Structure 1
Amino acid sequence: MQSDVSASAGVDAHSPPRRPEDALYPDKRGFHPVMAIYLSMQRVRFSSPGAYEKFKVVFADTRHHLMKLPGFLHLTWWEHPDDRMWFNECSFWASKEALYDWHMDTYHKHAKAWAANGAIMEDIITNFELVGTRLLRICPCCNELQDKVYDLGQEQAVLREQCPNCGFHFPYMTEQESSFGVFKDLALEPVSTNGKEPAAAQANT
Structure 2
Amino acid sequence: MPLTPDDVVTKQFQHVRFKEGFDPDEVDDFLDEIVVEWRKALAENEELKAKLAAYESGEAASPAPQPAAEPQPAPVAAAPVAAAPAATDGAAQSAGIIELAQRLHDEHVAEGKAQHDQLIADARAQAASIISEAEARGRDEIARLDKERTTLEGRIAELEKFESDYRSQLRSYIEGKLRDLETTGTSSGATPVSAGL
Q: TM-score by structure 2 length?
A: 0.21
Q: TM-score by structure 1 length?
A: 0.20
Question: Greater share of strand residues, 1 or 2?
Answer: 1
Q: Which has the higher contact order (CA 8 A, sep 6+)?
A: 1
Q: Which protein is bigger by CA-based radius of gyration?
A: 2
